[in-house]
Structure 1
Amino acid sequence: MYQLLLRTFLFERRRTLPSCSQRLLELPLRLLQQAGSDTPLLELLPLLRETLGAEAVTLLLPQANTVGWRRLGPGIECGCLRPGGESPMPGAVQLCRGCLAQGRFRAVGGLQVEEGRPALLLADFARQPDSSQHAALRDITRQLGEVLHAFAEERRSRRRELDAERGVLARELHDSVAQQLGYLQIRSCRLQAVLDDPRQRQEAGAMLDDLRNTLQVLHRQVRELISSARLTMDGRSLRQALEASVEEFSRCSRCVFSLDNRLPANQLPADGELQVLQIVREALANVVRHSHARQVWISLLPVGDGVEVEVRDDGVGLPAQLPPTGHFGLRIMQERAAAIGAELTIGPAASGGTCVRLRWGRP
């Protein structure tokens, strides 16, 4: 009878292991799909408990922007695990000495460090865990820690990307739209004075033309800013985002686009990737609108410790002198390059047309 029970127990343990391992493999995607929800982690805890043969499994995660733990699971309070107390290093497992002193058996696994604070996996046992349980807990701790650490890095990367883009958008609103609106306010007041004075009414037509032209420029600036604000990496790599952009512009023009991207993955930081994508898209938009080009070449190459990005076309090229208005996109590209410490040049291509070249060296 005892052997039958033992075989049944071992069979059940083997049956649950694949389920637990599979759920750990699926966890990153589930966390991304349910961003902000603890459901994927809460659904994982019963599987961990069964796999380990534990009475309870609990997660202690750092509270966002404050001191203290965010507890997932039914584990009892443990005084020696308060924030700031002694905790195992990430990937390590140890028995809680405070619980041992009270006759309880709690194994503590260090998961990862998020913003300088550890996250912990607690497993409560009816008796001291044996070597197989200790080894299983160590493997689970390592794998779960890697998942949570990578997910935390992804969240931080997205926050940095969003903060950088908000900063650029705020500067652009201040430097372009706000200034244009101030100018319109001044000119409208001046126009009212002209209309009130019969001796100056002949100036009204010229002033109305000026206001109309300024409003057209302002309208285009707002559309450019809205387009920029909507554009994000959206979880894609730079390579994927560039390929999608080239396909998008191919659909709305007769140009033939050639993309040569030789940059290794993660060559650029997240905020740099977004700015490079924005600059390339603005250059492509200018080609489609103004160049009358047939061929467009986009290249991204590693050069020494930096990168070189080039958008070149065989169109009509730039005018000898740019008009005082209507080149808002060129200025925005210059500002984006300056925001990441890169050098941007816009000029004639050697074989005709226009060449936009971005050079960015590592600091």
Structure 2
Amino acid sequence: WYWIPFLIIAPGLGALLLWFYRRQQQGQQARTRQLREELLRDLHDEMGSKLAVVNMYGALLQDQLSPGDLEKTGPILNKLLGASTDLYQSMQDLQWMLDPEKDQLRHLLYELKAFGQELLSPTGAVFQETIELSPDLLGQKLPIHYKKNVLFLFKEAIHNTAKHAGATEAGLQVWSTVDHIHICWWDKGGAKPPLAIQGNGYGLKSMQARAEKIGAALKFGHDSGGTQVRLRWPVGILLREEKSVS
């Protein structure tokens, strides 16, 4: 008979423990979101303003140098301005990754599209985009490490197309099968594969490492028509991660 009270109390105790666990999870998510928003504001207020000042004074100095001085110091000044611009872009990427309002898969794909258009515009290559995903998949939330690794993986691919491929066309293609999401960056018209897929260089290893960190498979392809960088991402992983950040 002594176990009868336990049978009566156990369901209520289990429900109470589950309630406490869920409240703890919600509190942790709220604290994480608040921290991300604070870091986002700090980055914008501190780093953004300081980098803007560096660029402004660098440009003013460049304008005020005489032709003789510019010939001597121009290359150094250009490197300084270039490094400042790169640092500013890195800060923008970090801000985007921290922004809790841009955690959905659709935001990641939009960022890749915008970067591709920006880098290809000076080359004259035609940019194309094909996204065939359901609204549910497009609305899935991604943890920061997913956003970071996919963003930087394809930024590397896009950068190599713009800098090395000599392509006439390039684009982003995204679709889903039963168990996977597929993201492909491709280019056409290049005379040779971009450096990222030649041999076992740092670019290739870095991209493969990023794919492994999110449980995805990465493949490279090149033929006379151009180059493809294909990421195959298990939908199950994406759905599990979405529950952990929602």
Q: TM-score, normalised by structure 1?
A: 0.36
Contact 1:348–1:355 (CA under 8 A) maintained in structure 2? yes
2:124 counterpart of 1:254: yes
Q: Which amino acid aligns with 2:198?
A: L
Work out the number of aligned pairs and report it: 158
Query: Counterpart of 2:119 in 1: which secondary structure?
Result: helix
Rg larger for? 1
- Counterpart of 2:193 (choices 318, 335, 341) is 318
Counterpart in 2 of 1:345? 219
Alignment RMSD: 3.9
**Offset at 1:290?**
1.1
Counterpart in 1 of 2:138? 265
Counterpart in 2 of 1:356? 229
Q: Which has the higher helix share?
A: 2
Provide the rounded CA distance (Å) in 2 between the counterparts of 1:228 and 1:360: 27
Counterpart in 2 of 1:293? 167
Deviation per CA, 1:111-141: give whole Å up to 9, x if none: x9354659xxxxxxxxxxxxxxxxxxxxxxx
* Superposition map of 1:42-81 within 5 A: none
**Offset at 1:240?**
3.0
Counterpart in 2 of 1:275? 149
Counterpart in 2 of 1:330? 204
Task: Specify every segment of 5 or more residues in structure 2 that has no aligned partner in the other structure, as ranges.
Answer: 1-15, 41-82, 238-246
The percentage of aligned residue pairs carrying the same residue is 26
Q: TM-score, normalised by structure 2?
A: 0.52
Deviation per CA, 1:140-197: give whole Å up to 9, x if none: xxxxxxxxx7x556447x59xx9xxxxxxxxxxxxxxxxxxxxxxxxxxxxxxxxxxx
**Offset at 1:265?**
2.4
Counterpart in 1 of 2:114? 244
Distance 1:117 1:279, change over 3 A: closer
Query: Counterpart of 2:192 in 1: which secondary structure?
Result: coil
Query: Counterpart of 2:175 in 1: which secondary structure?
Result: strand
Counterpart in 2 of 1:113? 23
Larger RCO of the pair (alpha carbons < 8 Å, separation 6+): 2
Distance 1:257 1:335, change over 3 A: same
Q: Which amino acid aligns with 1:295?
A: E
Contact 1:228–1:278 (CA under 8 A) maintained in structure 2? no
Q: Which amino acid aligns with 2:126?
A: V
Provide the rounded CA distance (Å) in 1 between the counterparts of 2:159 and 2:122: 10
Contact 2:217–2:233 (CA under 8 A) maintained in structure 1? yes
Counterpart in 1 of 2:183? 309
Q: Which amino acid aligns with 2:154?
A: V
* Superposition map of 1:80-159 within 5 A: 113-115=23-25, 152=31, 154-155=33-34, 158=36
Query: Counterpart of 1:113 in 2: which secondary structure?
Result: helix
Contact 2:116–2:127 (CA under 8 A) maintained in structure 1? yes
Task: Specify every segment of 5 or more residues in structure 1 that has no aligned partner in the other structure, as ranges.
Answer: 1-85, 91-111, 119-148, 163-221
Provide the rounded CA distance (Å) in 2 between the counterparts of 1:253 and 1:281: 16
Deviation per CA, 1:59-110: give whole Å up to 9, x if none: xxxxxxxxxxxxxxxxxxxxxxxxxxx9xx89xxxxxxxxxxxxxxxxxxxx
Counterpart in 1 of 2:56? none
